[in-house]
Amino acid sequence: MAADLKANAKKNQDDLATLQEQIATLKAELKEKKKNTPKALSLKVSQKGALSVYGLGRFPVTLYPGQMARLLSIKTEIEAFIEENKDSFSYKS
């Protein structure tokens, strides 16, 4: 009886160790996948009626429609500025 309990306990410890290894492997795979997958952007209307862009960073970027229109109206200038200064910027995913 005692031998059976010891054998059972040993088997359970081995099973637990195997499961813990599998969990660690899966966590590492998930972390790597998240790191390599860009977050999808989404748009929402805020409670105050502004446009919020989610997925660029930790917090949403929120602009009122007029502000967004002004920003989009100089899209070409922004792209040119980025190109001219690309060596000075830091890049994040």
Digit-coded pLDDT (tens) for 24-45: 999 998 888 777 667 789 999 9
Intervals of the chain under pLDDT 50: none
Indicate the domain borders of the chain.
1-37, 42-84
Tokens of 9: 């306990």
pLDDT, residue 2, reads 67
What pTM does this model have?
Answer: 0.55
